Amino acid sequence: MLILDVLSPLLLLLLSILLPGYGCRAADIPEDTTAEFSARLYHQLQAAGGQENIIFSPLSVAVALGMVELGARGASLEQIRQAVGFSHLLPGAEFSLLQNLTAALSNDDARYVIRLANSLYLQEGVTFNPEFLHLMRKYFRADVETVDFSESAAVADQINSWVENRTESKIRELLSAEDFSSVTRLTLVNAIYFRGSWKNQFRPENTRTFSFSKDDGSEVQTLMMYQQGDFYYGEFSDGSQEAGGVYQVLEMPYEGEDVSMMIVLPRQEVPLASLEPIIKAPLLEEWANNVKRQKVEVYLPRFKVEQRIDLRSTLQELGIKNIFTNDADLSAMTGLQEPSRSNERRQSPPPSTCLIKDMM
């Protein structure tokens, strides 16, 4: 019998990946496109966050960037396509890809709930390109509302109410009045909500308090869930000692088995930092394809993580720089041939806010 024991040194790798089951994938979705972007985005966030836990939705970020891309031209357009990994696709094919991926996940017959919602807020009195608005509705099913951004507090309340409704009240204050000004003309909002129950439930009576070893060697007392069952599990090596030679990978399915959480744990007293650099798209695929069903004892800490991330610097490191400057070309939003270069122009990415907690 194998044991995945996060009581032992050192820690659970909080790279919790939702893996769509192969049966729900649209046939024309190239898996490596979104996986590579996920890995690159993770590395940038990890570098910026230091020792902090990281939680984010690569799909949500990709969809938000896709919405911006619909309104972009020139260098602004190409930087987004290059960063997200769409440059090898035919121009515009990425929109159908994102549309198919979100449709595959949002299955009304599934045992889990994934809701992806998009909204577009336009300054009243400003004319926008009808084709841009049509494509936003077509590919992203975006709600389109007109508001007066000079009434910044009212706009923040309206958007926060929309986000709260789409996330079952899990995210309540995404934006504040300070996020808008009299020169704001458009705001794109993307929300993703997931709710699922483990296929194999943790029994509450098996939860106990144990010492949990952190990456810095210190220990904290935490509630640890326990169960024994059949799971997809594997032990992998990177061929060197960079990750302690061997690390464990466990896939824990949610009800319906279309979606799983993947847990990665370095073995022995090996810091998580030695494993993180090797995380790449091919490795994610290797994990998913090579875990084998076997009996495993699982000790898993109860946890709740909530994080707000300003993605500006992260996206700039990935090569998306133009849209945050006065050289941004978002003229496809208005239908004008020349990009606006007003010194008053201010591009500010929406923050990414995520919350996740364990379930028994």
pLDDT value at 238 more than 70: no
Which range, 8-17, 41-50, 186-195, 199-208, is most confident? 199-208
Are 207 and 296 in the same domain? yes
Q: What's this model's pTM, rounded to 2 decimal places?
A: 0.82
Same domain, 311 and 289: no
CA 311 to centroid of chain Cα atoms: 12
CATH of the domain at 252: 2.30.39.10
**Could you tell me the residue range of the domain that residue 269 belongs to?**
2-21+197-303
Residue 295 tokens, joined: 């009996």
pLDDT at residue 192, rounded to an integer: 84
Return the pLDDT at 105.
78
- The radius of gyration computed from the CA coordinates of the chain, to the nearest angstrom, equals 22
Q: What is the mean pLDDT of residues 181-195?
A: 87
Of 28-32, 39-43, 153-157, minimum mean pLDDT range = 28-32
Q: Which of 259, 280, 303 is the last residue of a domain?
A: 303
Least confident window among 7-16, 49-58, 247-256? 7-16
**Residue 48 belongs to a domain with what CATH number?**
3.30.497.10
- The confidence score (pLDDT) of residue 72 equals 94
Write the pLDDT tens digit of every residue in 205-215.
999 998 887 77
pLDDT grade for 93, boundaries at 50, 70 and 90: very high
Residues 186 and 203 in one domain: no
| Helix 58-70 × helix 93-105 angle, to 10° | 140
- CB burial of residue 188 (10 Å; 0-12, 13-18, 19+): buried
For 72, phi and psi rounded to 5 degrees? Answer: -100, 155
Model confidence at 8, in pLDDT bands (50, 70, 90)?
very low
The 3-state secondary structure of the chain reads CEEEECCCCCCCEEEEEEEECHHHCCCCCCHHHHHHHHHHHHHHHHHHHCCCCCCCCHHHHHHHHHHHHHCCCHHHHHHHHHHHCCCCCCCCHHHHHHHHHHHHHCCCCCCCEEEEEEEEEEECCCCCCHHHHHHHHHHHCCEEEEECCCCHHHHHHHHHHHHHHHCCCCCCCCCCHHHCCCCCCEEEEEEEEEECCECCCCCHHHCEEEEEECCCCCEEEEEEEEEEEEEEEEEECCCCCCCCCCEEEEEEEECCCCEEEEEEEECCCCCHHHCHHHCCHHHHHHHHHHCEEEEEEEEEECCEEEEEECCHHHHHHCCCCHHHCCCCCCHHHCCCCCCCCCCCCCCCCCCEEEEEECCC
What pLDDT is recorded for position 18?
A: 46
pLDDT given for residue 74 in this prediction = 95
More confident residue, 23 or 20: 20
Say what percent of the chain tops pLDDT 90: 38
φ, ψ for residue 166 (rounded to 5)?
Answer: -80, -15
Which among 262, 286, 303 is the end of a domain? 303
In this prediction, residue 268 carries a pLDDT of 61
Of 139, 4, 118, the C-alpha closest to 61 is 118
Same domain, 275 and 329: no
72 shares a domain with 14 = no
Domain match, 283 and 318 both = no
Q: Which of 257, 274, 303 is the last residue of a domain?
A: 303
Lowest mean pLDDT among 26-35, 113-122, 348-357: 348-357
Strand order in the sheet with 143-147: 143-147, 113-123, 186-195
* Residue 294 sits in the same domain as residue 327: no
Mean pLDDT of the chain: 80
- Are the C-beta atoms of residues 344 and 138 closer than 8 Å to each other? no
Q: pLDDT of 270-327, one tens digit each?
A: 677 777 778 888 888 888 889 999 999 998 888 777 777 888 899 999 999 999 888 8
In total, how many domains does the chain have?
Answer: 2
Q: How confident is the model at residue 38 (pLDDT cuts 50, 70, 90)?
A: confident
- Is 232 found in the same domain as 86? no
Mean pLDDT of all residues in 46-74 = 86
Based on the domain organization, do 140 and 156 belong to the same domain?
A: yes
CA–CA gap between residue 234 and residue 12 (Å, rounded): 15
User: Looking up tokens 């032990």, which residue turns up?
Assistant: 235
pLDDT confidence bin for 241, thresholds 50/70/90:
low
Q: Are residues 119 and 57 in the same domain?
A: yes
pLDDT at 332 over 90: yes
- Residue 155 confidence (pLDDT): 95
Most confident of 107-116, 168-177, 289-298: 289-298
Question: Do 11 and 37 fall within a single domain?
Answer: no
Check whether residue 36 and residue 76 sit in a common domain.
yes
